[in-house]
Amino acid sequence: MDTERYRVRPGDKVRLSEWSTSDVETFNGAKSDGKEELERYNERLLDLQQMLYAEARHKVLVVLQGMDTAGKDGTIKHVFRTVNPLGVRAVNFRKPSTLELAHDYLWRVHQHTPSTGTIAIFNRSHYEDVLIVRVHGLVPTEQWEKRYAHICDFERMLADEGTTVIKFFLHISSDEQRDRLQERIDNPDKNWKFEHGDLSERLHWDAYQEAYEAVLNRTSTDAAPWYVVPSDRKWYRNLVVSRVLIRHLERLEMSYPDPPADLPDIQVE
């Protein structure tokens, strides 16, 4: 799979309407083949994550963003189902608390950035502070306008200090969102996921797409690239995210630490 086509290059002018939500082209096979392939990716990701943990040299930050129902939770569940929780932490960023709002918007996310040897997965992130905040005008324009630069600076600093930052925008169509919301209403097993707020947010679809375009155009850097993942087909979305992660981890050229020189001579009594 060549997933490079989904990466937003610095300087790109992304128009989301031109990026497919249902592309499955880079995988040569049907959905059932894709699910088998995912199992192989899961195993490979586990190998790499174990080495990351053992070597304890690098840090990895995965950012997941997308419209409601885009599949952030499902991606975490399926892509990371094999990894060792000791070395992986998923963090949900919900509506900020009073304490969080009393600090700058990067305060709460910085606390949860990964330590050496670990992967942190952000389910939503500091990008909400230029998404929902922008769409609903929660702070003045001149304040959120400066945040794109802050965010690039922040992620640059994380990268300089040893963190691999990888960001995924799970891209779905408006029709797909409608179907998934309806499913949450119609299917009793999914009722718990339904929130009235999702319906009112859906009315701002175009404003959100525009806000995401600004994010993709202004914050996809070499240090912290964005990938626009076609996400109408869940199995394909999982494959793309897995493949990108694996590629980034492989580039770290990790190895297990050398054993003590006298190891072969040690006899446990």
Could you give the string, one character per residue 61-100, with x where binding to a copy of itself holds by CB under 8 A and - elsewhere?
--------------------------------------x-
Residue 87: CB minimum distance to a copy of itself, A: 12
Residue 141: CB minimum distance to a copy of itself, A: 13
CA–CA gap between residue 10 and residue 169 (Å, rounded): 15
Rounded (10°) CA dihedral 30, 33, 39, 45:
-60
Taking CB under 8 A as the binding criterion, the range among 1-9, 27-35, 147-155, 215-223 that sits at the site for a copy of itself is 147-155
Residue of the chain from 111, 174, 182, 191 that contacts a copy of itself (CB under 8 A): 111
218 binds a copy of itself (CB under 8 A): no
31 binds a copy of itself (CB under 8 A): no
Residue 185 has φ and ψ, to the nearest 5°, of: -85, -40
Is residue 208 within 8 A of residue 67, CB to CB? The reply is yes
Is residue 34 within 8 A of residue 239, CB to CB? The reply is yes
How many residues of this chain interact with a copy of itself, rule: CB under 8 A?
26
150 binds a copy of itself (CB under 8 A): yes
Tokens 């997941």 belong to which residue?
Answer: 64
Beta strands in the chain (DSSP E): 7-8, 59-66, 88-92, 119-123, 163-171, 226-230
103 binds a copy of itself (CB under 8 A): yes
222 binds a copy of itself (CB under 8 A): no
Task: Name the nearest CA neighbour of 223 among 173, 162, 155, 129.
Answer: 155
CA-based end-to-end distance of the chain: 50
Task: Name the nearest CA neighbour of 130 among 108, 105, 112, 101.
Answer: 105
The helix (run of H) or strand (run of E) holding residue 62 is strand 59-66
208 binds a copy of itself (CB under 8 A): no
Taking CB under 8 A as the binding criterion, the range among 21-29, 37-45, 155-163, 216-224 that sits at the site for a copy of itself is 155-163
257 binds a copy of itself (CB under 8 A): no
Residue of the chain from 21, 49, 113, 221 that contacts a copy of itself (CB under 8 A): 113
Taking CB under 8 A as the binding criterion, the range among 23-31, 160-168, 175-183, 239-247 that sits at the site for a copy of itself is 160-168
Interface residues toward a copy of itself, by CB under 8 A: 59, 99, 102-107, 110-111, 113, 115-117, 143, 146, 150, 153-154, 156-158, 160-163
